[in-house]
């Protein structure tokens, strides 16, 4: 059980969010019912999801403003249920892929993958490159599917990979094909404001005009990310991206690959609309 006698004694009402510039929850209304032990567990999961590296018990305790004794049993249960794991060398706790796997079983994501995967396999065979599919997850993109490049050599992005919207080609494409109101919400979630926000919006507007995006990878030298939107209605629900490798010999030049990627994204968009999957 998540609740134990020790945690019941130590439970307290959580303070209301301060009206500062810090990022706060959007559900500001007080819940009708409280489940303090469950709230603690969810707080731990949300914290680990937001961090780029593992966190020790003491670090989690400090960030959440709770005692180590209060959180120790909670971490043990989350680890037992395989939602988190201890990293080697005492580095701390990190999320497993269990939450991601649960989310992948939901009908909208499942339907998107059912439509996209056959098209992605054909695309990969045609351009002789890997490709992947990314969707939005709060202020990040998350890769939900990939197809490896045919043959022995290639570069691909693992399923479950996350990156801030503002730091990924997929993120820029997803942002470009959103309503003004959705864009404002995403910028707020990302903490982007002022000149940085204006510059990002300008880049997104250029992507929307072109209908696709290409840029050298910020993280791997020699890779050029090619990305196009998968659109449902008026907005992008996913981004189809190819980390293009300039191999020797080159089966399909980059400019032709962009055309194939746009056609594949358009086909997926059409089939989603035709089947009314969303």
Predicted confidence (pLDDT) at residue 110 exceeds the cutoff of 60: no
Q: What is the pLDDT of residue 42?
A: 86
The first and second tokens of residue 276, run together, are 């009314």
Asked if residue 249 has a cis previous peptide bond (ω within 30° of 0), the answer is yes
Q: How far apart are CA 26 and CA 24, in angstroms?
A: 6
**In the structure, what pLDDT confidence band is assigned to residue 1 with cuts at 50, 70 and 90?**
very low
Q: Domains along the chain?
A: 5-96 (1.10.10.10), 102-275 (3.30.450.40)
The first and second tokens of residue 52, run together, are 């780029």
Bigger pLDDT: 200 or 52?
A: 200
CA 40 to chain centroid: 23
The mean per-residue pLDDT over the stretch 8-33 comes to 46
Q: Are 37 and 74 in contact (CB under 8 A)?
A: yes
Mean pLDDT of the chain: 83
95-99, 155-159, 263-267: segment of lowest average pLDDT: 95-99
The first and second tokens of residue 187, run together, are 């910028």
Q: Does pTM top 0.85 for this prediction?
A: no
Q: How far apart are CA 183 and CA 189, in angstroms?
A: 10
């Amino acid at each position: 059980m998540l609740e134990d006698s020790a945690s019941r004694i130590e439970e307290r009402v959580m303070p209301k969010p301060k009206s500062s510039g810090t990022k706060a929850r959007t559900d500001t209304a007080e819940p009708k019912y409280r489940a303090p032990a469950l709230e603690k567990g969810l707080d731990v999961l949300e914290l680990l999801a937001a961090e780029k590296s593992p966190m020790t018990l003491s670090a989690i305790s400090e960030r959440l403003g709770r005692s180590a004794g209060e959180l120790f049993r909670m971490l043990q249960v989350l680890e037992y249920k395989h939602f988190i794991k201890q990293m080697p060398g005492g580095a701390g706790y990190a999320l497993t892929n269990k939450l991601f796997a649960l989310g992948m079983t939901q009908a909208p994501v499942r339907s998107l993958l059912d439509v996209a995967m056959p098209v992605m396999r054909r695309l990969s065979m045609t351009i002789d490159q890997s490709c992947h599919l990314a969707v939005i997850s709060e202020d990040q993109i998350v890769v939900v599917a990939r197809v490896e490049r045919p043959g022995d050599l290639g570069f691909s992005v693992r399923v479950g990979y996350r990156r801030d919207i503002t730091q990924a080609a997929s993120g820029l494409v997803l942002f470009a094909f959103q309503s003004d109101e959705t864009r404002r919400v995403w910028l707020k979630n990302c903490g982007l404001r002022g000149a940085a926000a204006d510059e990002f919006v300008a880049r997104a507007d250029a992507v929307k005009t072109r209908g696709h995006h290409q840029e050298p990878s910020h993280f791997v030298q020699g890779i050029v990310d090619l990305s196009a939107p998968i659109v449902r209605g008026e907005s992008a629900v996913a981004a189809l991206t190819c980390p293009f490798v300039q191999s020797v010999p080159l089966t399909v030049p980059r400019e032709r690959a962009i055309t194939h990627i746009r056609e594949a994204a358009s086909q997926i968009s059409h089939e989603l609309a035709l089947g009314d999957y969303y």
